[in-house]
Amino acid sequence: MSTLTVPARAAPLRALASTDHKRVAIGAGAVAFAFFVAGGVLSLIMRSQLAADGGVISQDSYNQLFTMHGSTMVYLFVVPVGLAIGLYFVPLQVGAAEVAGPRVALAGLWLLVFGGLSMWAGFLTSGGAAAASWWGFDPLSDSLHSPGSGMELWIFGVVMATAGQMLWAGCVLVTALRRRAPQMTLLRMPVFTWSMLATCLLVVFAFPALIVALALLWAQRHFGGVLGGGLGAVDYQQLFWFYGHPVVYVMFFPFIGMVGEIVATFSGRRFFGHHAFILALLAFAGLSMTVWAHHMFTMGQATNKYFALTSTALVVPAGIEYLDLLGTLWRGRLRFSAAFLFALGFIVQFLVGGLTGIILASPPLDYGLNMSYFVVAHFHYTIFAGSAFGLFGGIYYWFPKLTGALLRERLGKLQFLLMAIGTNLTFFPMFVLGAEGMTRRIALYPTSTGWQPLNVLATFGALVIALSVLLFLINVWVSLRSREPAGDDPWQGQTLEWATSSPPPRHNFDALPPIRSFAPLLDAREAAQEATARARGDVAEGAPA
Amino acid sequence: MRRAAIVLLAWGAWLGVMTAAQAPFRSIKGPFGVHWIEAAMLGGAAATCVLAGLVLWALDARAGERESARVLATDSLATTTLVAGLALALLGAGFGLWLILIGASVAALGAGGLARETRARRRGHRGEGAP
């Protein structure tokens, strides 16, 4: 297939309207990261309130903050940033010149921007931002309990951001399925591309439920009677969680794919059990569509036995994926770069989140822990201690490809250390607080409970995390201001993105290497080594004794 | 490329199996039994996925192994305009007809721009194919 590039417009216009998947992805990543910082600031205010046990903000403001913190992190940061990285790297990894539907991808970026601004504009309204949590359950979110424009803006914002994510997922999915280079068969696609494919399947087939739920909620707020009678509010929850649990895996799969690439590269080994990993991913993705009502165990309006069974069954594909990661590390020639450290952090810390998930998958145990800080600790271990570590690993790994410059390794390792300490100081005490009965979403608690010391510890940990993020931003600034040239392949990568220049040209590749496996660059290196060894052998055979 | 549809067909079938796995739980009566919406949502996703797989299969079969030249547009201001218009129109649902009308006008401008871009792309294709 040949490509023809249409001349570009002026630079400021390109920033607004570029259809290059790499520019769209960088724009989306930057927007998502800005929302991450904003959402992080909200969490620091909430943590200050809990450490001081009141006096920092009002209860109503606290409700707005935890709603906007959760909404920002899920709808505007983790999901978009994972998809953005897929949008950048899937076309490169499959040897495509372009993403499928570049205009659609651009539309997704602007939907994220407008959606995010709409959600946050709620703070500017007289009643404040939405305060009905990131799930917006009815009747808490109806016009009686959540009057004002803040909730309306939240609904529109979430719909826009989610629609944008569905557009991106469609683009990435079609690229992986239909735009692969001729030699790139399905089974030769790298683990990251497969993890994005599984992610996009979830986005395309689960996310529409959220848009339906929010449309019903909007109709309920304006016309009434839509969700009010019978099991209406429960049906809203069914629809919401049909989106709300798969989204947890949308916030996991891209990052385990990144970690897979990092582990293989920095172990100097071919990814162990590639085909088993793919099967496990697809089975995992399918199962993750069937577990949503475990969020509703205590409501008495869901098939608890079925959902307990499917939720527990998730450990099988998760176990296979962990086995593959550990198998890749086993006897590898490990290089402890910042990217590799973050990947190891992901493997260890996500395990804590995953294992505590097994506890919550059991209805009798969930009855005791539901709505407690144990649940908060569990999902922060999966999403922050897990996925965010995978994300930073991915950033350290792929930053040279994006910019042509290396991030500073020493600063990266220091950031990892601070983030690992901060994360565990923040979230581990929450397991204890939850087991002791501290309920989530409370702005105040009785002093007699004795929860304050652990809350102070968690708040100190949150400040350490903030410091580590600041260090990362400094690292990006320093590395771009005073560039250490990375070259095309600074890590001895294995997949196709390392076969092109850094950053890649508009059409991605001038020429593709032969693709005979999921690690074509490793194949080429091994072939070259074998040829060298054979040549040496020939010389040795022919040499006089 | 034809085998790409297998992914969607297999995954849709897997969702179908998981929908069918709800059947034994129908014997549970009362609130902890199977609710229609649980089977409908999962079954709907399974059916949609299989359908998407069949469409992809048919598309790939029709396209064969032919690969045509592809024009890479570098930017599309019309897309940005269209999305801005749609976003304003959506917000208008909460804030009044005036915003819907402004949004619709901006979206129409964007749609017109997209039509222009599509025409230019077609011309570009023809130009490249000409001797």
Cβ of B72 and A9 within 8 Å? Answer: no
A 390-409 residues with CB < 8 A to B: none
B61 touches chain A (CB under 8 A): no
Region at B93 (left for phi over 0; alpha for psi -120 to 50; beta for the rest): alpha
Residue A27 lies in a domain: yes
**ipTM entry:** 0.91
Question: What pLDDT, on a 0 to 100 scale, did the predictor assign at position A9?
Answer: 60
Contact A306 B25 (CB under 8 A): yes
Structure tokens at A214: 């929010």
Question: Closest residue of B to A508, CA-based?
Answer: B72
Q: Which residues of A417-440 are buried (b: 16+ CB within 10 A; e: fewer)?
A: ebbbebbbbbbbbbbbbbeeebeb
In a domain, A384, yes or no: yes
Distances (CA, A) of A6 to A3, A314, A445: 10, 47, 62
For A477, the token pair is: 């600034």
**H or E segment and range at residue A319:** helix A315-329
**What does each C-alpha distance from A317 to A75, A363, A378, A390, B6 come to in angstroms?**
26, 21, 19, 19, 20
DSSP bridge pairs for A18: B75
Give the helix/strand (H/E) hosting A3: strand A3-5
> Is A543 inside a domain boundary?
no
Per-residue pLDDT averaged across B108-122, rounded? 91
Q: Which residues of B touch A106 (CB under 8 A)?
A: 76, 79-80
- Report yes or no: B82 at the A interface, CB cutoff 8 Å: yes
CB contact under 8 A, A304 and B32: yes
Could you say which of B69, B77, B93 has the minimum Cβ distance to residue A13?
Answer: B77
Alpha carbon of A6: minimum distance to chain B alpha carbons (Å): 5
Q: What pLDDT score does A408 carry?
A: 97
Higher pLDDT, A121 or B126: A121
pLDDT in tens, chain A (545 residues): 455 555 556 666 667 889 999 999 999 999 999 999 999 999 999 999 999 988 899 999 999 999 999 999 999 999 999 999 999 999 999 999 999 999 999 999 999 999 999 999 999 999 999 999 999 988 899 988 999 899 999 999 999 999 999 999 999 999 999 999 999 999 999 999 999 999 999 999 999 999 999 999 999 999 888 886 666 888 899 999 999 999 999 999 999 999 999 999 999 999 999 999 999 999 999 999 999 999 999 888 888 999 999 999 999 999 999 999 999 999 999 999 999 999 999 999 999 999 999 999 899 999 999 999 999 999 999 999 989 999 999 999 999 999 999 999 999 999 999 999 999 999 999 999 999 999 999 999 999 999 999 999 999 999 999 999 999 999 999 999 999 999 999 999 999 999 999 999 999 999 999 999 999 999 999 999 989 988 887 655 544 43
pLDDT at B129 over 60: no
**Nearest alpha-carbon partner for A412 in A463, A335, A311, A341:** A341
Written as six digits, the tokens of A338 are 């910042």
Q: Compute the distance between CA of residue A445 and CA of residue A532 in angstroms, rounded to an integer.
A: 70
DSSP A33-46: HHHHHHHHHHHHHH
Could you tell me if A120 and A186 are in contact, meaning their C-beta atoms sit under 8 angstroms apart? no
Q: Which residues contact A104 (CB under 8 A, 6 or more apart)?
A: A167, A170, A171
Q: Does A111 touch chain B (CB under 8 A)?
A: yes
Find out whether A129 and A71 touch, Cβ atoms under 8 Å.
no
Q: Write the single-letter amino acid at A85.
A: I
Q: Which residues contact A542 (CB under 8 A, 6 or more apart)?
A: none
User: Does B31 reach chain A within 8 Å, measured CB to CB?
Assistant: yes
What is the number of other CB atoms lying within 10 angstroms of the CB of residue A211? 17
What number is the average pLDDT over the span B66-85? 82
CB atoms closer than 10 angstroms to residue A453? 10
CA dist A165 and A105 (Å) reads 9
> Residue B75's beta-bridge partner residues?
A18
**B2 CB near a chain A CB, below 8 Å?**
no
* Rounded distance between C-alpha atoms, residue A32 and residue A14, angstroms: 19
CATH number at residue A459: 1.20.210.10
Asked if the structure places residue A544 within a domain, the reply is: no
Over residues B95-104, the mean pLDDT reads 95
A11-15, A421-425, B63-67, B121-125, range with greatest mean pLDDT: A421-425
Closest-approach residue (CA) in chain A for B16: A286
- Judge whether residue B51 has pLDDT over 90: yes
* Whether the Cβ atoms of residue A127 and residue A59 lie closer than 8 Å to each other: no
Cβ contact (<8 Å) for A178 and B4? yes
DSSP state of A73: I
Residues 320-379 of A with CB under 8 A from B: none
> Is residue A48 within 8 angstroms of chain B, CB to CB?
no
Residues of B in contact with A282 (CB under 8 A): 7, 10-11, 14
Contact A285 B11 (CB under 8 A): yes
B115 touches chain A (CB under 8 A): no
CB atoms within 10 A of CB B27: 8
- Contact yes or no for A201 and B49 at CB 8 A: yes
| Residue A1 belongs to some domain of the structure | no
Q: How many CA atoms lie within 13 A of A451 on its CB side?
A: 27
pLDDT(B94) > 90? no
Determine, for residues A107 and B37 on separate chains, whether the beta-carbon distance falls below 8 Å.
no
The answer to the question of residue A8 being in a domain is no
Q: What is the pLDDT of residue B130?
A: 46
Give me the pLDDT at residue A545, please. Answer: 38
* DSSP states along chain B: -TTHHHHHHHHHHHHHHHHHTTGGGGGS-STTS--HHHHHHHHHHHHHHHHHHHHHHHHHHHHTT----EEE--B-HHHHHHHHHHHHHHHHHHH-HHHHHHHHHHHHHHHHHHHHHHHHHHHHHHHHH--
Contact yes or no for A301 and B31 at CB 8 A: yes
Q: Would you state the pLDDT for residue A5?
A: 55
> CB atoms < 10 A from the CB of A89, how many?
29
A311 touches chain B (CB under 8 A): no
Nearest CA-CA distance, residue A455 and chain B, Å: 37
Quick check: A111 and A168 in contact, CB under 8 A? no
Question: How many domains would you assign to chain A?
Answer: 1
Determine which of B28, B37, B74, B121 to mutate to test the interface with A (most A C-beta atoms within 10 Å): B74
- CA dist A259 and A386 (Å) reads 10
Contacts of A9 in chain B (CB under 8 A): 74-75, 77
List the 156-215 stretch of A: residues with Cβ below 8 A of B.
Answer: 156, 159-160, 177-178, 180, 185-186, 197, 201, 205-206, 209
What the block records as the tokens of A152 is: 């309306």
Asked if B11 lies within 8 A of A282 by C-beta distance, the reply is yes
Nearest alpha-carbon partner for A466 in A425, A413, A523: A425
Determine, for residues B93 and A285 on separate chains, whether the beta-carbon distance falls below 8 Å. no
Residue numbers of the domain that contains A300:
15-538
Strands (E), A109-194: none
**By the CB < 8 Å criterion, does B45 face chain A?**
yes
- Whole-number Å distance between alpha carbons of A379 and A377: 6
In this structure, is residue A328 part of a structural domain? Answer: yes
Name the minimum distance, in Å, from the CA of B36 to any CA of chain A: 10
Chain A segment 449-468 residues within 8 A of B by beta carbon are: none
Answer yes or no: do A9 and B69 touch at CB < 8 A: no
